[in-house]
Structure 1
């Protein structure tokens, strides 16, 4: 009997895994949506070495730290494409707030190949998503 149920168990497990991915992807997209009424005040790019870049971003109307990090990611992704590379790795983003102005200093390593690690960005995918969400790039 257990052998007869095995294929059904696999199908249920696979379907359950796919539905989990679907809702997770939707949540990730919602986190990157631009805040209503946000003002993006510009990006300063600082090349730290051949492949390490800092992006200073400033904005007004951010909901929280995540909006500032999203702006830095969008800038990094576009810069990566401008340099002819396909990938960036997010090292860190320091975020501060002074009054209603938020500032982020995001560090990224850009690369032509997919780097090892967990915080990698496919630049083309990120730039497309930024445009869709209304978040400016460089």
Structure 2
């Protein structure tokens, strides 16, 4: 007896969603850009522990540069809210008026959250300062 194709499709989708993402701490750092190319961060609180950040970089930017900028902003926001950790949920990349954008969502929490792509907010903010990437 052959399994239904819908069950196979669902299994494939679930397996694809289980691909492991490297923790942010082990990803290669993005090179810093000139300060004037970091065009700002828009922050929206979606839930008490869920935040949406929209960052903009001048001109063409790589996914790595946009993610680094979003991580830096998320880490600073986490500290501002009195928490110590964040976890990256998703990032959508785009372009608007010749600039590169990232629309990212993070959970924030007082203790290290489960899962991948977790950020120790204090360590990330220090790293961002050392690399010349603005936070909020």
In structure 1, runs of 5+ residues without a counterpart are: 1-23
Contact 1:41–1:59 (Cα < 8 Å) also in 2: yes
The runs of at least 4 aligned residues of structure 1 exceeding 3 Å deviation read none
Contact 1:38–1:62 (Cα < 8 Å) also in 2: no
TM-score (norm 1): 0.74
Greater RCO (Cα-Cα under 8 Å, separation 6 or more): 2
Deviations 1:52-94 (CA, angstroms, capped at 9, x unpaired): 0000111114541110111110000000001110000000111
TM-score (norm 2): 0.75
Contact 1:74–1:130 (Cα < 8 Å) also in 2: yes
Task: From the superposition, tell whether residues 53 and 103 of structure 1 become closer, same or farther in structure 2 (CA, over 3 Å).
Answer: same
> Tell me, what secondary structure is at the counterpart of 2:47?
coil
* Corresponding position of 1:116: 114
**Aligned: 1:129 with 2:124:** no
CA RMSD across the alignment: 1.9
- Aligned partners of 2:93, 2:85: CA distance in 1, in Å? 23
* Corresponding position of 2:38: 40
Q: List aligned pairs for 1:52-63, cutoff 5 A.
A: 52-63=50-61
In structure 2, runs of 5+ residues without a counterpart are: 1-24
- Aligned partners of 1:64, 1:74: CA distance in 2, in Å? 16
Per the TM alignment, residue 32 of structure 1 is displaced from its structure 2 partner at its CA by 2.4
- The structure whose Rg is larger is 1
